[in-house]
């Protein structure tokens, strides 16, 4: 290859992970086979993939290899303990990040693949921590229900790994290939934002990218325990062809508690339905977390009043679950005990029914005379984090100032699957968020940010937004500093409204 010719993908891996096992039917190692398979399949984008087979542990990292890293459009990182322990694998990442974005917190065009569970890795360098938290694209390891340890799908070869594990390998490989192909096609045709993590589009089967706002809705598919990874992939693959956006793009493993709360809150705000798959296994509990991820995700979805659907294949016996809190997840009104195919169909039908309902509501609203919709002064009131007595007093003040109140039903979801919030806000002079119940901080904050984004993104004529606080300021409570977002109390609410 000429010295100045660019590469599409540079495969960064530990050579110890690419050995050929004795007795396998494959003449090449697992990594070599993966790289080759990325160039196979229907509608594949033919890629120039570089995988180094010459450099061995202890060898010097030469300038020619650094040049290849720099000339590559994408970096494919295969994470394992061997990779973490390799000093020259770290150099490949550092050089790629430095030459493509310069900021390890905002890496450009890095695709991260787990071949072993990330949380089991030790002595992980900060740059790999930063990459893993933002850019997980595929997990090739699989935790069988009958095994004590995870296995690598497709090892020693897909043919030798058994039908179930091989199916997981080909499914994950297909998703990874389409994601890489979609990014490379985009880089060939136009200038896109630097990082694929910032591009919220997912590839369609033809390799094109489709917008994150789907016609049918958005689902938050909860992180599962390791033994349900195959089923979670199956649900995602069933929903996306129906025009359903599935969040999160990766998972929440490796996050600090604060990062987890922030990322999950953002995904909840975008979603119209929370879907959770359950098994008797309680799941991982990260350092500093109050509970394992399945419990925390369910709690946050409940707090946000997001519609919920849970699934298990069969109810576990009482003595199967040692964690009482995890056992409580099987004792909710949201649980469906059925086979997975029926559950996937139920999710899709529920979203179709909700879309039909929204369309009927919108059609009815359009039939109203314009004067009937707009002749009164309107203010939007969000009191989900209020107390009944506070809401009553503030509503009285609003009516005394000759304003009518608009709001959302308590159970109404936000995001693509709920009421069209921008149309609800469009005729309003102002918005008011009541934060009186301090146990609902996350609810108040997430909804406030969501409504302000709706106003900004849709250029709505909402003049100001008031936040009812009994202590502090909007900046000290929510970190929002804006002349148009102000704190109000009962004494100042009338003046706030008269100034509109």
> Residues 408-417: pLDDT tens digits?
877 676 665 5
Q: What is the pLDDT of residues 158-182, one digit of tens each?
A: 989 888 888 889 988 988 898 888 8
Confirm whether 1-200 and 370-498 share one CATH topology. Answer: yes
* pLDDT value at 94 more than 90: no
Q: Please give the backbone phi and psi of residue 211, each rounded to the nearest 5 degrees, phi first.
A: -65, 150
Q: Please give the backbone phi and psi of residue 465, each rounded to the nearest 5 degrees, phi first.
A: -130, 120
Range 211-367 classified under CATH 3.40.50.2300: no
Q: What is the pLDDT of residues 210-264, one digit of tens each?
A: 444 446 889 999 998 878 888 888 898 889 888 899 998 777 877 889 888 888 9
Q: What confidence tier does 448 reach under pLDDT thresholds 50, 70, 90?
A: very high
How large a percentage of the chain has pLDDT more than 90? 38
Cα 427 to Cα 425: distance, rounded to the nearest angstrom: 6
As a whole number, mean pLDDT of residues 359-387 equals 72
Cα 465 to Cα 451: distance, rounded to the nearest angstrom: 10
Q: Please give the backbone phi and psi of residue 424, each rounded to the nearest 5 degrees, phi first.
A: -70, -35
Least confident window among 119-133, 183-197, 319-333:
183-197
Range 1-200 classified under CATH 3.40.50.10140: yes
* Among 120, 112, 114, 60, residue whose Cα is nearest residue 91: 60
Torsion-angle region of residue 126: left (phi > 0), alpha (psi -120 to 50) or beta?
A: alpha
Cβ atoms of 38 and 80 within 8 Å: the answer is no
| Domains of the chain by residue range | 1-200, 211-367, 370-498
State pTM to two decimals. 0.58
Which pLDDT score, from 0 to 100, does residue 304 have?
83
Which pLDDT score, from 0 to 100, does residue 204 have?
43
* pLDDT value at 376 more than 70: no
Question: What is the length of the chain?
Answer: 500
Q: Which CATH class is domain 370-498?
A: alpha beta
Q: What is the pLDDT of residues 18-50, one digit of tens each?
A: 999 999 999 999 999 999 999 998 889 999 999
As a whole number, mean pLDDT of residues 105-113 equals 78
Q: What is the pLDDT of residues 423-435, one digit of tens each?
A: 889 999 999 999 9
How large a percentage of the chain has pLDDT more than 70? 85
Q: What is the pLDDT of residues 267-306, one digit of tens each?
A: 888 888 999 999 998 887 778 899 999 999 999 998 888 8
As a whole number, mean pLDDT of residues 369-381 equals 67
Cβ atoms of 474 and 496 within 8 Å: the answer is no
Which pLDDT score, from 0 to 100, does residue 194 have?
40
Distances from the Cα of 157 to the Cα of 28, 139, 154, 479, angstroms: 9, 16, 5, 52
Which pLDDT score, from 0 to 100, does residue 129 have?
79
Cα 443 to Cα 410: distance, rounded to the nearest angstrom: 12
Cα 420 to Cα 115: distance, rounded to the nearest angstrom: 42
As a whole number, mean pLDDT of residues 127-143 equals 76
Q: For the packed helices 87-100 and 63-71, what is the interaxial angle rounded to 10 degrees?
A: 40
Average pLDDT, the chain: 83
Cβ atoms of 50 and 72 within 8 Å: the answer is yes
Q: What confidence tier does 339 reach under pLDDT thresholds 50, 70, 90?
A: very high
Which pLDDT score, from 0 to 100, does residue 192 have?
39
């Amino acid at each position: 290859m000429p010295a100045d010719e660019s590469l599409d993908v540079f495969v960064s891996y530990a050579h110890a992970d690419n050995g050929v096992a004795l007795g396998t039917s494959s003449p090449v190692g697992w990594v070599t086979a993966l790289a080759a398979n990325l160039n196979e399949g229907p509608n594949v984008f033919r890629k120039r993939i570089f995988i180094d087979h010459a450099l061995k542990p202890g060898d010097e990292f030469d300038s020619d290899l650094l040049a290849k890293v720099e000339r590559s459009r994408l970096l494919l990182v295969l994470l394992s303990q061997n990779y973490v322990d390799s000093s020259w694998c770290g150099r490949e990442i550092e050089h790629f990040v430095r030459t493509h974005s310069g900021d390890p917190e905002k890496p450009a065009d890095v695709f991260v693949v787990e071949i072993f569970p990330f949380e089991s890795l030790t002595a992980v360098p900060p740059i790999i921590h930063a990459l893993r938290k933002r850019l997980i694209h595929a997990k090739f390891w699989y935790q069988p229900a009958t095994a004590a340890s995870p296995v690598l799908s497709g090892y020693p070869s897909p043919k030798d790994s058994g039908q179930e594990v091989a199916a997981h390998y080909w499914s994950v490989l297909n998703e990874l290939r389409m994601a890489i192909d979609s990014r490379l096609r985009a880089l060939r045709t136009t200038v896109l934002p630097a990082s694929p993590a910032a591009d919220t589009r997912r590839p369609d089967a033809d390799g094109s990218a489709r917008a994150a706002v789907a016609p049918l809705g958005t689902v938050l598919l909860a992180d599962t325990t390791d033994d349900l990874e195959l089923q979670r992939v199956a649900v995602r693959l069933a929903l996306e062809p129906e025009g359903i956006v599935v969040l999160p793009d990766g998972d929440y493993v490796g996050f600090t508690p604060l990062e987890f709360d922030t990322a999950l809150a953002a995904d909840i705000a975008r979603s119209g339905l929370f879907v959770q798959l359950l098994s008797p296994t309680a799941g991982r509990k990260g350092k500093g977390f109050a509970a394992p991820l399945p419990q925390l995700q369910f709690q946050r979805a409940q707090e946000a009043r997001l519609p919920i659907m849970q699934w298990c294949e069969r109810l576990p016996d009482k003595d199967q679950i040692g964690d009482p809190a995890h056992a409580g997840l099987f004792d909710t009104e949201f649980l469906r005990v059925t086979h997975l195919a029926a559950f996937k169909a139920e999710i899709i039908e529920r979203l179709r029914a909700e879309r039909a309902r929204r369309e009927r509501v919108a059609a009815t609203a359009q039939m109203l005379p314009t004067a009937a919709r707009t002749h009164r002064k309107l203010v939007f009131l969000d009191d989900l984090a209020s107390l009944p007595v506070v809401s009553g007093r503030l509503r009285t003040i609003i009516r005394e100032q000759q304003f009518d109140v608009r709001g959302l039903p308590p159970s109404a979801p936000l995001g693509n699957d709920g009421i069209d919030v921008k149309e609800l806000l469009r005729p309003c002079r102002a918005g008011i968020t009541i934060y009186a119940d301090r146990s609902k901080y996350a609810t108040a904050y997430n909804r406030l940010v969501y409504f302000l984004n709706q106003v900004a993104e849709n250029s709505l004529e909402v003049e100001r937004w008031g936040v009812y606080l009994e202590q502090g300021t909007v900046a000290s409570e929510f970190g929002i500093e804006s002349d148009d977002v102000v704190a109000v109390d009962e004494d100042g609410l009338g003046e706030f409204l008269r100034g509109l």
